[in-house]
C-alpha cells in the first residue's frame, strides 16, 4: 500500500471527521473505450486511481478531512483472501493511528459482499468501515460511483455508524456486511439485504439508521492477530444439489485430495441444498464419504440465507468464508493435511 496522502484538505466551518479512503478497483474505477464513454459499454474495471474518484465526487471534501491510498486496482472477480488481509491490516493500522476515524473502501460490486463479510469477521466493530461500489463505470451518463462514494464518506464520518460492524453503502442505502448481497447483475440498485432490509437510508440531511442488527454479530476472529499474507489457506469448495446431482464431483475432489494432486487438500464443502437445505440422495452419499474422510460439510439453502444456528442470516459464500477463516486461523497445519 502506498503511504496515505492527504490532498483534499478540509473546507467549511467546524471540525470535520477524518476519513481514510482505500481504493481497490472495480467498476467504480472503470473506464470505457472512447466511443462508448457515455454508455459505459465494454468498459474495463479497476483503471482510475482513488485520487481521481475523489476528484469526481464534488463536495466530498466538505464532509471530511480525507486521506487516501491505493491498495490495488483490480476487477473484484479476481479478489481473494490476500486482499481481505491487506484491507484488514490497513484498517487496523488506521485505527491505531487515527482512533475513531472512519474508513471507506472502494471495491468492485461482484465480490463486495465477500470482502465486506471477511472484514466483518477480522475487525472489531469499532469505527465505521464502509465499502462502496458502482454499477456504471466512471464516465458513463448518470454514473453512480461519485454519489455512492460521497454517501460512503458521509456514513464513515457519522458517529451513528460507530460499532455497527462493516457496512456497505450503495444507491442511498446502508447495508450490514452479514446481510448484504449483490442481487442483480446489472441494475443500479443491485445490492439488497433480503428480508431483513437495509440498516438505514441516506438522504439530503444525512443517514437515518432504521434498525439494529437483530443480535450482536459473531466476530470470532476480530481480536486475534491476522494470519500472515503467505499463510496457507484451506480449500473450501461450493457444490450444488440439483436434479440429477450424483455426487461424482465430490468423489473426484476427494480422490484428488487423497492422492495429493489437489493442493491445498480439501478442508470443507459448502453445499447449496434445495428447499430449506435438502440434498439429492446420491450427492448425500458422496458427502457422507467426505465427512467420514474428515472434510467439514455444511449444507445451506440455495435460494436464500441460512435460518438459525451459527450461520444464521449468511449466504453460501459467507459460510465459505467462515470455514476458510476457521481453517486458516485454527490450525494451518491441519488445513494442509486435508482428508484422512
Ligand atoms: N466486475 C466488476 C467488479 O466487481 C463489477 C463492478 O464493480 O460492478 O470489479
Q: Which mutation among 23, 27, 74 tests ligand 1's pocket best, with the greatest number of atoms within 8 A of CB? A: 27
Q: Which CATH architecture best describes the domain 235-336?
A: 3-Layer(aba) Sandwich (3.40)
Grid coordinates 486458516 are at which residue? 328
CA distance 10 to 27: 27
What is the distance in A from the centroid of ligand 1 to the CA of 141? 17
**Annotation: CATH topology of 17-209:** Rossmann fold (3.40.50)
Residues 6 or more apart in contact with residue 268 via CB below 8 angstroms: 234, 235, 236, 237, 295, 296, 297, 298, 320, 323, 324, 327
- For 273-287, letters b (16+ CB in 10 Å) and e give bbeebebbeebbebb
Among residues 74, 68, 132, the alpha carbon closest in space to that of 106 is found at 132
What is the distance in A from the centroid of ligand 1 to the CA of 28? 8
- Reading the chain (340 residues) residue by residue, the pLDDT tens digits are 555 655 444 444 457 899 999 999 999 999 999 999 999 999 999 999 999 999 999 889 888 999 999 999 999 999 999 999 999 999 999 999 998 899 999 999 999 999 999 999 999 999 999 999 999 999 899 999 999 999 999 999 999 999 999 999 999 999 999 999 999 999 999 999 999 999 999 998 899 999 987 665 567 788 889 998 888 999 999 999 999 999 999 999 999 999 999 999 999 999 999 999 999 999 999 999 999 999 999 999 999 999 999 999 999 999 999 999 988 864 444 444 444 4
Domain boundaries, the chain: 17-209, 235-336
The active-site residue out of 27, 106, 111, 207 is: 27
Please give all residues whose beta carbon lies within 6 A of any atom in ligand 1, as ranges: 25-27, 45, 75-77, 108-110, 133, 135
Q: Do domains 17-209 and 235-336 have the same CATH topology?
A: yes
What is the distance in A from the centroid of ligand 1 to the CA of 36? 18
What is the distance in A from the centroid of ligand 1 to the CA of 120? 20
Under DSSP, is residue 289 helix (H, G, I), strand (E, B) or coil?
helix
Q: Is-catalytic flag, 132?
A: no
Q: Which mutation among 29, 80, 133 tests ligand 1's pocket best, with the greatest number of atoms within 8 A of CB? A: 133
- The CA R_g of the chain, rounded to the nearest whole Å, is 21
Determine the distance from the C-alpha atom of residue 189 to the mean position of all C-alpha atoms in its chain, rounded to a whole number: 17
The reported pTM is: 0.93
Amino acid at each position: 500500500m502506498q503511504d496515505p496522502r492527504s490532498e483534499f484538505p478540509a473546507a467549511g466551518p467546524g471540525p470535520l471527521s477524518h476519513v481514510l479512503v482505500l481504493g481497490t478497483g472495480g467498476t467504480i474505477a472503470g473506464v470505457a473505450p472512447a466511443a462508448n464513454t457515455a454508455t459505459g459499454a465494454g468498459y474495463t474495471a479497476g483503471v482510475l486511481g482513488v485520487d481521481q474518484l475523489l476528484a469526481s465526487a464534488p463536495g466530498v471534501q466538505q464532509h471530511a478531512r480525507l486521506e487516501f491510498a491505493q491498495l490495488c486496482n483490480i476487477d473484484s472477480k479476481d479478489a481473494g483472501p490476500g486482499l481481505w488481509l491487506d484491507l484488514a491490516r490497513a484498517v487496523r493500522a488506521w485505527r491505531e493511528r487515527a482512533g475513531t476515524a472512519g474508513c471507506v473502501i472502494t471495491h468492485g460490486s461482484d465480490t463486495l459482499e465477500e470482502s465486506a463479510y471477511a472484514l466483518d469477521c477480522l475487525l472489531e466493530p469499532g469505527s465505521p468501515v464502509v465499502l462502496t461500489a458502482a454499477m456504471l463505470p466512471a464516465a458513463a451518463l448518470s454514473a453512480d460511483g461519485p454519489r455512492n462514494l460521497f454517501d460512503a464518506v458521509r456514513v464513515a464520518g457519522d458517529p451513528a455508524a460507530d460499532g455497527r460492524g462493516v457496512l456497505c453503502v450503495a444507491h442511498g442505502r446502508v447495508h450490514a456486511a452479514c446481510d448484504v448481497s449483490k442481487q442483480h447483475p446489472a441494475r443500479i440498485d443491485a445490492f439488497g439485504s433480503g428480508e431483513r432490509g437495509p440498516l438505514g437510508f441516506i438522504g439530503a440531511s444525512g443517514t437515518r439508521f432504521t434498525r439494529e442488527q437483530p443480535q450482536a454479530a459473531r466476530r470470532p476472529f476480530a481480536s486475534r492477530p491476522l494470519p500472515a499474507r503467505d499463510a496457507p489457506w484451506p480449500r473450501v469448495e461450493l457444490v450444488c444439489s440439483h436434479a440429477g446431482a450424483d455426487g461424482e464431483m465430490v468423489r473426484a475432489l476427494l480422490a484428488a485430495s487423497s492422492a495429493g494432486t489437489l493442493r491445498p487438500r480439501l478442508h470443507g464443502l459448502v453445499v447449496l441444498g434445495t428447499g430449506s437445505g435438502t440434498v439429492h440422495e446420491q450427492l448425500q452419499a458422496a458427502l457422507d464419504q467426505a465427512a467420514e474422510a474428515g472434510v467439514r460439510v455444511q449444507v445451506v439453502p440455495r435460494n436464500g440465507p441460512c435460518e438459525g444456528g451459527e450461520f444464521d442470516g449468511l449466504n453460501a459464500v459467507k459460510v465459505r468464508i467462515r470455514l476458510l477463516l476457521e481453517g486458516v486461523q485454527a490450525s494451518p497445519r491441519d488445513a494442509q493435511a486435508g482428508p484422512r
